[in-house]
Structure 1
């Protein structure tokens, strides 16, 4: 399995299905590193601590974090299972962005941005990142979100350790399409 495939498998385990390698996450999404490595090796994915540290360090999206002594690991956000990753509530910038595929525009314009299978809606601080995210879903469309107005109206925002902004829902009235690539 390539390093990229191994990283995707770790993402599946830590965000959605820890049971595929026989582990459990604690209430904050942490997994025991030794149990993760043992479970992955038992499932046929050759991995050791050195490779795990390389994957965590090299991940361009900074998906994962270790605790201080590297005995625990977790995904920073994107979970479909209920965990509290101890997100820091923050005042957002006035404008944030959301990239998606063209095929989702009608649904978004009807119900706003909803987390679907995830716990939060993921927002970007810049346009280029939103385009990149949207490209994963087909022809990209970028929405501008008036996050400052939402916060003033009482919506809570969180900033993940890897710089992704999160919120529970973005109503239609705070959205505007600003780019179709």
Structure 2
């Protein structure tokens, strides 16, 4: 499979598994899992064609590890980033002292005033390193990297979760925890 096909399938999976499974009438359980055979069959009805082997390649080669199979590869889900109500069954974890949030320069003043909101997503996404945060910020315009004092947040009782693809998640970052 070439890179263009891989990217096309990946974008489709992001849409279906994170935001709109109803487009192809895909059933997700309460934890966001879908049956692989159902996904492939219903995707075909939606005119998106891929084999199990191609799906496996997309999951294995996705640089952000956006998707995960269960142990026997009969079920699949998005690792995080959902706008639909699902429970990833993540356990609270202690974050490092600092995490990073990449955003566009145009969002900086609002964030420094109001904090970082999850908006339509289930969580705010934070990165363990500046390089990843920069890549995220570049998707939205000229990137700005904000340093989040997560040790302080955690000490103040705010919960953090670490997704299967190593993205740190929390519900909200108050502006007082953002280093200026």
TM-score bracket relative to the smaller structure: over 0.9
Query: Is 1:30 aligned to 2:30, yes or no?
Result: no
Gaps of 5+ in 1: none
Equivalenced residue count is 177
Q: Secondary structure at the match of 1:25?
A: coil
Q: Please state if 1:48 is matched with 2:58.
A: no
Provide the C-alpha distance between the structure 1 equivalents of 2:8 and 2:113, rounded to a whole number of angstroms.
36
Runs of at least 5 residues in structure 2 that lack an aligned partner in the other structure: none
Aligned residue runs from structure 1 range 77-156, under 5 A = 77-156=80-159
SS at match of 1:88: coil
In the alignment, structure 1 residue 19 sits paired with structure 2 residue 22: yes
Structure-1-length-normalised TM-score = 0.95
* C-alpha RMSD of matched pairs (Å): 1.0
SS state at 2:64 partner: coil
4+ long deviations beyond 6 Å? none
1:65 & 1:129 partners in 2: Cα distance? Answer: 20
Residue 71 (str. 1) matches residue 71 (str. 2):
no
**Equivalents in 1 of 2:51, 2:110: separation in Å?**
43
| Counterpart secondary structure, 1:3 | helix
Matched ranges for 1:1-12 at <5 A: 2-12=5-15
Deviations 1:7-34 (A, max 9, x none): 1001100000001111121100001111
Aligned partner of residue 142 in structure 1, secondary structure: strand
